[in-house]
Structure 1
Amino acid sequence: MASEDHTISGVAGRYATALLELALEEKALERIETDLNRFGEALDASEDLARLVKSPMFSSDDQGRALAAILDEVKIEGLTKNFLLLVARNRRLFAVPGMISAFRALAAAHRGEVSATVTTASQLNDTQVTALKQALKAALGKDVTLDQRVDPSLLGGLTVKVGSRMIDTSLRTKLTRLKHAMKEVG
């Protein structure tokens, strides 16, 4: 089973595990991962798509028809399209962002990589991404796949989450610690 080394639970984990097994069976892991990343980017970029995915107000038929049109527009087809339409038919579209994250983690584990979520105040450039990957590889002893997120409220610095471990070097956290330290003194 695909989840022997990596335990991912919940609805998103079960769907991601099933998709990974199908991807491996069809020898289409890279294509499906690319498709899911493209769909995730579309989800992040479109408030309407996010509303379609999250809102229980749409019927499964409405979600399926709208999703089919969107998938055609972003050129997602085959197994990934069928998977996402099945998710819509089963009224589980709300869990798609979690499914994408879980699939990335399972695919990375299958390749012998570690998946890390990096949150920064602004988008990292290619040099910074490469340096971060090298530093994480040195610390973890494995290749690292980065899932990058931007959160301007961090002010500066970054947070890195690998599995259950979290490294927080954000300016927001440093300022919060300083604030608490000053309260203790004064």
Structure 2
Amino acid sequence: MSDFAAHAERIRAVPDWPEPGVTFRDITPLLADAAGLAATIDALTEVASGWGPIDTVVGIEARGFVLAPPVALRLGAGFVPVRKAGKLPAPTESRTYDLEYGSATVEVHRDAIAPGDRVLIMDDVLATGGTIAAARDLVTSLGGVVVGELVLLELPALGGRERLASDTPLAALVTYG
């Protein structure tokens, strides 16, 4: 993870976006740099590999889609998207959750997770915890076993870690605030 630390400074703060008073943490400069992207995927894979065998990596729309597939490949696991409502073509399960400035609904295909699958849930940021909680609920409703929750960055002031409190490991590469 030490190589990742050298690249984490590429995550930029964008004040007052998407609304006044919110500081958005933009990971696109980190991902645009080949060495930064590689170091990020290496660090995420290193953390996840400590949680035992993983059958499926769930990536949450949208930036979770960028991070989860390469981690899944390195772990020898499959990738399953959790998408915003109305984006998946086959029968789905859905959950609605609160955001720091609104609410949203996410869905997963009903046949995407098999009972007993060991699942890693990934997203770019942990803020209030609503998105990961919704994904966790979707995975467990399909019979999956969540073995870890992994994010690139965490905003502890928004209370997500407390909301997600469980025996499931939760890790973030970077914490702000």
Regarding TM over 0.5, the answer is no
Range into which the TM-score falls when normalised by the shorter chain? under 0.3
Structure with the bigger percentage of helix:
1
Normalised TM-score (structure 1): 0.23
- The structure in which a higher percent of residues are strand is 2
The alignment's TM-score, normalised by the length of structure 2, stands at 0.24
Structure number with greater CO (CA < 8 Å, separation at least 6) is: 1
